[in-house]
Structure 1
C-alpha cells in the first residue's frame, strides 16, 4: 500500500523560474489519449490534475498565458514559463479561469498523482497498455458517474464562476 499523498505538492518549470504549489488533492486526474493531446504534449497522452484555481499558488516567477487552439474549437489558455516555455497548466474554455488543468509532469513528485481515469482511449497508441483497476473510456465521460462525491461538491461551489465566465463569452 502506498503512503497517502501529503499536500501541498510543489512543482515548476525546467529552468526553475516558475514555482507553484498545489494545496489540496485535485478534483480529478485525467490521462487523455486523444490525438490532440498527443500532438500538444509530444507524447502518447497528457496527464492533467484538475484543481480550483485558488488551490494552485504561484510561489516564484510569473507565467505567460498563451492562447492555444483546442479540438473543441473554443481554445485554451496555457500557462508557460516565459523563459524555458514549459507548459505548467491550462484553462480550458469549458471552465475558464476557475479551474486549472495542472500538468502532472511538472510536479516535483509527479508519481503522487496517478490518473483517476483514462479518456479518449479509442485513439490511444496501440502499444500503450492501460493498468487494470483504473477506469478507461473511449471518449469523454459522465462526471457524475466517476468523480468522488467530495469533488462533485467542490465543483458545485465554483459552478457560479464557471457559468458566469461561459455566459460572458456566449457559451451558455
Structure 2
C-alpha cells in the first residue's frame, strides 16, 4: 500500500493519514507492505519546499519509530506531467498495489491507471494544511526559545518532528525564504 505526499514538513494530518492507511492495510491487505512515497524530491529550496527529501525522510523515520509503524520510504522527483505521473511514480514505489490518499486528484490519477484507491478522510484540515504549517514555522524561524517553538509547532506537528527540526536547525532557514520583501526578524 502506497501513501503519497510532499511532507513539507511531516505534520499531524500526515500522521493521521499514515495511521489510517496502516490500520486499513493491517485489516484488509496485511500481505502488502506500507510504502511512503515522498513527492517533489527534486524541487529546489523555496518556502513551498523548504526541506530536502532526505530531511523529510528523516522526519518520517523519527515519527514512524515513535508510532511503531514499519514502512519503506521512497522519494519521487516531479515531472510536471500529470497524465504520466503514475507510470513515473511506479518506477519508485513499485507497480500496481493499492494507494491510500485523502487527495481527490491523486485518487483520480491512480484510479485511471488501474490502481485500487482507498480514500481516507481529512481531519482538522483547517489546521493541518501544509502552507499553514510552513507559515507558522516561518514565523517561528527567529524564535530561539525552544519551549515556545515546541508549544506552538506541537499543535500541528508531531513532537518527534519538532525535535528533529530543532536539533538540525532546519527552522532557521525559513527566515530567509519567501516571495520578495524582507526576511523574517
User: TM (normalized to structure 2)?
Assistant: 0.27
Greater relative CO, 1 or 2 (CA 8 Å, sep 6+): 2
Larger Rg: 2
